[in-house]
Structures are given as structure tokens and as C-alpha cells.
Amino acid sequence: MLTISCCLLIGYHEVRCMKRKELVEALSGDLPNGTIRFSSKLVSIQESGHLKLLHLADGTTIKAKVLIGCDGVNSVVAKWLGFGKPAYARRSSIRGYAHFESGHGFVHKGFQFHGNGIRVGYNPCDEQTCYWFFTWTPSNEDKVIGNDPEKAKEFVLSTIGNVPDQLLDVIAKTGPRTYASPMRFRYPWELLWGNISKDNVCIAGDALHPMTSDVGQGANMALEDGVILARRLAEALLPRKADEEGEFERIRSGLSKFGEERRWRSFVMITTAYVIGYIQQSNWWVMKFVKDKFLSPVLGKLLLSRADFDCGELIKI
């Protein structure tokens, strides 16, 4: 993992690249075998007293004392709580991951370029790998790209124009795992009056706050959710009293507090990501002038200030 450090007037920051696989392995390492079930799609939720019965696509039924919906942008749990489907932002992204067997030799800095309605950038992850992204507003013709890695790379290389050779090299060396997808986000006002939790059920991660990738804080927000949620559940479950009704009420109260803590933070981050993406990719000459002359330094500080969030500590047992 590569760490990029920077220091501004608003504080000291580190920008870290991390592979999702390594994060999952680190978080699951201390759990008993069988705790995590992969490829277990949730189909429906049924109430059974204080428990929830989870019906999976493979026919399995699980009894849950607490149900935390981290099932992504198409969350079944979010739908059960009354949230609508995330909206399309009318922009799409292509992301890739390049591996340099002998090392890439790049400086430990992330680079981003934008103009003419597109945004592209790359960031070294370690000495041999580099992540890159490309966002644009697609036309009907662009839909033929689909998830074809070669078509995606050809499209990006033919569109980005005059950029450093290093970026071109990164895109050219990208393997078959290139992902193209439309950007989606939850309307932020849904979070102001929506039910983030109900009884012993809540949502977190992309199920709660799907946002465009313009501020690079989606995974970080999910980690914040995890810390705060763990703290609230520990407060509810640590008393270990045999009273089932009392435990249920403590869980309900803890999840409700979690929802209130995350409501405004989620609203702010979704709104920030959408507005920054719109400004950076706007091709309107007035917006470009204002952005280049006045907004560039402000946006940089805004991004770092939004990431500078203290979610507190876990409870020590």
C-alpha cells in the first residue's frame, strides 16, 4: 500500500490506495470461519417477533437479531425501509488497474486532468500497480462500450486528448479488469426524512449513501459507518442481560442513534460529490472561467476538509 501525504492550512492528510480484497481479508481475519457468506443475495425480509428472517436466492433462510443492510446501491434492505432506487447522475465512469512487472517508476503523487466535459486521472497504489479513472457524459453511441475492456480502453485513449505519456502508458497496460458503469447517487433530501433504521434494521455503506465518485470518499464513508455502528451496537449488547424485550429496545435505540449521526454527514457528502463533479466536468464557458479563476483552490480545500472527519473510537472492552 502506498501512502501519499500532504499538508494544507486545514490540517495534515494522507491519501492511501488500498485493494478491496486486502481490506476484506484484514477485516475478516479475526472472525470465526463461516461468519461471512459470499455470493449470498438477499431476496426478501420477513418479520418474526423480534427477529428478522432473511430469505436468500439459494433458498437459505437466516434468523437475524440485528439486520445491517450493506447490500450496495440496489439494496433490498433500503427498499424495505422505504428508500427509492438511486438516481442516475447522467455521467459514467471507466476505471482500470494497471500492473507493471518491473515497476512503474512514477512519483508518489496522484494526478487529475479535466476539461471539455471529461475528467481523467491516475494514482500509484504501490511500486508496481497504478489505478486510473475516466468520467464523462455519455452519448447514445457510447453505450456500445458496455463492459468490453478493449473497447473501453480504446474509447478513453481516443477521447482524452493531450495528457502526459505516463497516463497513456498506464491505460495501455491495463489488463482485462476494466469497469465501465453509470454514476448513481441517492437524492440527498431522501436522507433528511427517510428511515435509516427501523426497530432492529438499518442500512450502511452504499445502501445508505450511494454517491458519485468525484470526492473519492465512498469507501471511507463506509468505514466511518462501521466504527459508529460498532460503537452503538456495543453499547446495546454489552450489558448482556437476559431480558429479550430490553435487549431489543437497546438495539432499536442504538440503531436509531446511528441513523441520526449519519444522516447529515451522508447528506453533505452526497451533495458535495455531485456539485464538485458537475463543476469539474462542465463544458459551459462561464462555469469553466469561474472554476479556473476562482474555484480551483477552494475545491481542493473543500475536498480535504470533507475527508477530515473524526468518527470517534471503538468501545474498549
Summarised one tens digit per residue, pLDDT across range 139-154 is 766 665 666 778 888 8
What pTM did the predictor assign? 0.85
pLDDT for 5? 38
Residue 220 confidence (pLDDT) above 50: yes
Residue 9 confidence (pLDDT) above 50: no
Closest to 20 in 3D by CA, of 110, 97, 86, 75: 97
What domains lie within the chain, and their CATH numbers? 37-86+186-307 (3.50.50.60), 88-184 (3.30.9.30)
Of residues 163 and 6, the one with the higher pLDDT is: 163
pLDDT for 242? 64
Summarised one tens digit per residue, pLDDT across range 56-83 is 998 999 999 999 999 999 999 999 999 9
Q: What is the mean pLDDT of residues 13-19?
A: 71
Residue 138 confidence (pLDDT) above 60: yes
- For the beta carbon of residue 169, count every other beta carbon within 10 angstroms: 15
What value does the mean pLDDT of the chain take?
A: 85
Range with the poorest average pLDDT among 22-36, 110-124, 205-219, 292-306: 292-306
